[in-house]
């Protein structure tokens, strides 16, 4: 529910002074009504938080490299909502070690995808092993495209990787695609580009890909 749609003339009748100050402050930080509504829908406690805590969140977001003007600013506020400075530092250090990033690279990764701070250690470890050890991506490549880490490993990353790997091994691709594109495009676009054109040459590709998206392990594929 969007709580920011009341007529301006009646706003004080619907929202308390603290909430009005909260909304005004976030507007000063560059967030529009839609962004504020989305932030509060995920963090409803913000509506009763004191302004000092919200200001501290904004400072944390800026400290991890996400300026107020960034399109990722709302996501950064969500990521740091329940994290102290010590916890943020610990998670940044874990990311650095897990993905073999330099200080500059981990800073880049967090600024591009603040949500990585909210992921569990197990989730990050599994993605690191897959992207670096299995796919063969360089740490810098991942840092520059850290939004990849936010995608489902079993529901998107693995199925798409194995589908493209099969196409490459069987000479069905004219050129190697960027894994950034492979992982980021919509499901509809992926199927249109990598599945549908090969229905005749690879009779089981669509079926195997569908099975992979449902969680079947790669060893069950008939790609090879």
166-203 pLDDT, tens digit each: 999 889 998 889 999 999 999 999 999 999 999 888 88
Q: Among 119, 136, 118, 127, which Cα is nearest to 98's?
A: 127
Q: What is the pLDDT of residue 3?
A: 40
Pair of tokens at residue 80: 């740091």
Extract long-range pairs of 127-132: CB within 8 Å, 24+ residues apart. 127/153, 127/157, 128/98, 128/99, 130/157, 130/158, 130/161, 131/157, 132/99, 132/100
Pair of tokens at residue 17: 């002074």
Query: Where in the chain are the domains?
Result: 8-80, 85-150, 153-220
Is pLDDT above 50 for 8?
no
pLDDT in tens, 114-140: 999 989 999 999 999 999 999 999 999
By CB atoms closer than 10 A (0-12, 13-18, 19+), residue 171 is exposed
Q: Which residues contact 70 (CB under 8 A, 6 or more apart)?
A: 76, 111
């Amino acid at each position: 529910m969007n709580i920011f749609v009341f007529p301006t003339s009646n706003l004080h009748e619907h929202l308390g002074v603290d909430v009005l100050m909260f909304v005004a402050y976030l507007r000063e930080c560059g967030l529009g009504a839609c962004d504020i509504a989305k932030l509060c829908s995920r963090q409803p406690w913000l509506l009763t938080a004191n302004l000092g805590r919200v200001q501290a969140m904004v400072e944390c977001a800026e400290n991890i490299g996400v300026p107020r003007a960034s399109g990722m600013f709302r996501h950064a506020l969500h990521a740091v909502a329940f994290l102290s400075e010590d916890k943020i530092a610990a998670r940044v250090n874990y990311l650095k070690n897990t993905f073999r990033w330099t200080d500059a690279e981990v800073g880049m990764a967090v600024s591009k995808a603040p949500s990585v701070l909210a992921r569990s250690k197990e989730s990050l470890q599994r993605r690191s092993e897959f992207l670096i050890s299995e796919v063969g991506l360089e740490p810098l490549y991942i840092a520059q495209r850290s939004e990849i880490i936010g995608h489902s490993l079993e529901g998107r990353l693995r199925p798409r990787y194995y589908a493209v790997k099969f196409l490459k091994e069987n000479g069905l691709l004219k050129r190697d695609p960027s894994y950034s594109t492979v992982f980021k495009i919509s499901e509809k676009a992926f199927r249109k580009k990598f599945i549908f054109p090969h229905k005749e040459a690879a009779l089981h590709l669509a079926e195997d890909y569908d099975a992979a998206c449902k969680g079947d392990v790669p060893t069950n594929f008939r790609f090879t």
